[in-house]
Chains A and B, each alone.
Chain A
Amino acid sequence: MRIRALLLLVCVSGPRAIGAQVVPATVARTGVFFESYSFGTGLAFNRLSEMTVPITVTHHFGSRVTVDVGTAFASASVSHTGGATLDHSGFVDTDIRATVAVVPGRLLFNVVGTLPTGATAVPDTTIPLFGATATDLLGFTTPTFGSGGGVSAGFASAFKLGQRWAAGTGASYRYGASYTPVENGTDLVPGGEVRVRVGVEGPFGGGKYFRGAFVYTTTGANDLGNGKRSLIGDRALLYAAMSAPLGRGSLSLYGWEMRRFDVGTTDTLVVPVPRGNVLALGVRYEHALSPKTTLVPLLEVRHELTGTDSTTSLTLLGYLLRTGTDFRYRLSERALLVVQAQVAFGRLHDEDQDVSLVGPRLGAFIEWSR
């Protein structure tokens, strides 16, 4: 029987993991996001806005190799209370990531090359803008605009835990190329960065699914020239998420906490990044309105603490409540449209001043797959 011959044929190829292969060969995404925050009196700024046009392509080469390419065009501006405006527009860096399934379902190796297509050697007057968009509390789509590029490599492994659960470990190292961040300034030589991750996930009672992980990151000193260095303390990130069926949809609860530790030096030639703590808790519900449309309302609370050194306690930097919804519409078998509308309310605390903030996040983008 011919089917037996085919049987022998496929026997030679051995077992294969299905999960990794039930994906389209190519997925491309693009769209536009706009975020803007208005601040009450007390800060140097009264409005901060950013627009991002991301472009990403993911392609699977066979069953073992996946390549992601991602970049974005971003435009940001910040208005000073005095009326002046700082702005910046341009592409950000381009990331090219190759992921190789060394042992399918068990061990991945990945390498990321960051091409310095973004902003470098910017005027020092725009630096406050870049700092503002990097605020964890606000969570901008594009938090940074450029660097000297670099290379990162790492692995992720998975181990079975019982019948249906899995645990995983992973690590990565990043090398950053030197560049001149500020016009007419000195070169910056980034320190290497190591990340280690331990995670666990799996289904449990009644169609629920859990994912949790701990990621620890440590970064070497950045050489600023002239004997100066900038330092950031180690970061510990703990996150967990659970999804469960509810009615005609799926409810997801998630939370993460990231602690940034003190740099541990009082050297006057060191520019330290203050220690801090960011906590986020959220809930999201995916509700199918029809075969083609899905509504995804979301509610998230974010809270950030900061402190100058280990001798003083962490103080409140601010908190933010974000709510809104995604509206997903399947245009065709290959195309998905997502429209996002959110609004955030919160307060920032700075040097004994309590400042309100409010602003929308609007977005629309298309995912195309084949």
Chain B
Amino acid sequence: MVDLRYLLLAVGCLGAACAGGRGGAGGGARPTAVAPADVPALRAQAAQHPSDAQIRFRLAAALVAAGRCDTGVVVARAGQTLAPAVAAAPLIIGACQEKDGRPDLAFSTYTDFAAQHPKARGVAAVRGKALLALRAQAEQTARLALARESTLTALPPEASTLAVLPLTIAGDSSFRPLSRGLAELLTTDLALVRSLRLLERVQIGALLDELKLGQTQRADASTAARVGRLLRAERMVQGVARITADGPVNLSASVVRGDGTVRSGAQANGTFRQLLDLEKQLVFGLASQLGILLTEAERQRILQQGPKNLAAFLAYSEGLEALDRGDYQAAARAFGAAAQADPSFQAAQDQQQAAQAAPTVEGGDIASVLQEAQEPPPPPPSAPPITSASEGVLGAGTADLNPTIADQLGATTGGATTEQKTTTQSQGINGLTGVSVTIRIIFKRPTL
């Protein structure tokens, strides 16, 4: 639970930095405490300066300190409309939602803000709060699910809801972190499919922890079905990764329904160095298995998302494992290593921020976290990520400039976004009407 005393200090700090307010956008002001007794004065100031977001946030904090979360949230939202990129609003609103026993709403508040304002000051604290709220929500859900298992199993699953279980790692136990990493990658990739709703990995992990299952039991289809019923997921993805560092790697995944029926088939084979490519292949195989025709845009987004570097992914997986056992410092180090290995790996940067902020936020000293958050945001990656749009440009360029008949057939099988085929008439051979009266010279040109 949030310590509101510290929140008040934080609001004073962030309010001074809020854009659009009299405090200006520069920041640098020291935290100023507000107390319930300040409410009347702050109300008067807010009436005199209706466009001053800083005053609104201070008033909201004072109201919350007075135990009036309902009014405090309204005032904070009003301040947010004036200065949407200031972290004070989601921190105040989220704190009240957590206080109200709704970590799920708080999580949404935090993550929505972080997604909309990824470079805002204070966003690290917001991410840290999101991390903790998610864990709190996951644990709460898991306990409730087990307590109400008989009721839940009688309810129909939520349509199109999919949960990816941690993958079973077969082989060297040192690859165990990849269980979480691969599950996370599969989850984030499948979440890009418009017709699917993916459950949070942390939520699934919390339930498995509550069930106290060993890896062998987790690999059992009946366990997956039970987990699916408890989570009210329509389908569960249960994967196995057979990994050897210098030998073949096999990724496979089955889809388990709540009634226990298993549909298997998605596989990807290769080497350890191809692990990231294999994961994408597995995603496409799973989509096919689920009866989903991916659009070109979805394919491109899936290909574009995630780490581009295996070292980054391995570090990221270690970070997830550390995070799940509550070792935030180790998690932050691992996520930092991942971000360093692949500067375009945005999730690693976000998780690093969250893991760094989480201990301070969890410890209650939110003011110091927000003080830290006033530091300039981390610099952008040194090199821009290689995007799939680039791959598309290169492929289309090759087909336009040096085409072969393979390009034409590839378009028919759905391999191309663009429909464009012209013939050699454009290159020098007269067409149908022309040849009925004229003899022309024949020469080959590639199709343009």
Contact = CB atoms under 8 A, between A and B. Distances in A.
Given A154-B401, A338-B412, A136 B297 contact: no
B433 A258 contact: no
Given A152-B402, A172-B402, A260 B420 contact: no
B115 interface: no
Interface string B287-303: 01111110111101101
A211 B297 contact: no
B341 A11 contact: yes
B423 interface: yes
A131 B432 contact: yes
A256 B448 CA distance: 11
Nearest to B192: A207
A124 B430 CA distance: 15
B274 interface: yes
Contact of A256 (B175, B414, B422, B429): B422
A110 interface: yes
Contact of B308 (A18, A97, A144, A248): A18
Interface stretch (B47-55, B89-97, B225-233, B403-411): B403-411
Given A3-B175, A114-B446, A144-B445, 16 more contacts: A7-B311, A19-B387, A29-B410, A104-B386, A108-B398, A111-B402, A127-B439, A168-B390, A168-B393, A211-B396, A211-B418, A222-B443, A241-B418, A271-B440, A273-B428, A338-B413
A181 B96 CA distance: 83
Given A2-B174, A144-B429, A245-B295, A190 B443 contact: yes
Chain A contact patch, size range? 35 or more
A59 B289 CA distance: 26
Q: Give 5 nearest A-B pairs by CB, closest first.
A: A147-B444, A156-B397, A131-B435, A168-B393, A135-B431
Interface in B174-222: 174-175, 177, 194-195
A182 to B, nearest CB: 8
Given A68-B406, A167-B393, A202-B389, A181 B425 contact: no
Interface string B326-343: 000000000001000110
A267 interface: no
Given A22-B280, A213-B396, A348-B432, A10 B310 contact: yes
Contacts, number: 413
Contact of A70 (B406, B424, B425): B406
A303 interface: no
B322 to A, nearest CB: 12
Contacts of B318: 3
26 contacts: A1-B174, A3-B175, A48-B432, A54-B408, A71-B405, A72-B405, A95-B405, A112-B446, A114-B446, A137-B431, A138-B431, A138-B432, A139-B423, A144-B445, A146-B444, A158-B393, A158-B397, A164-B389, A172-B402, A199-B397, A203-B389, A211-B418, A215-B448, A240-B418, A245-B297, A365-B409
B394 to A, nearest CB: 5
Nearest to B306: A18
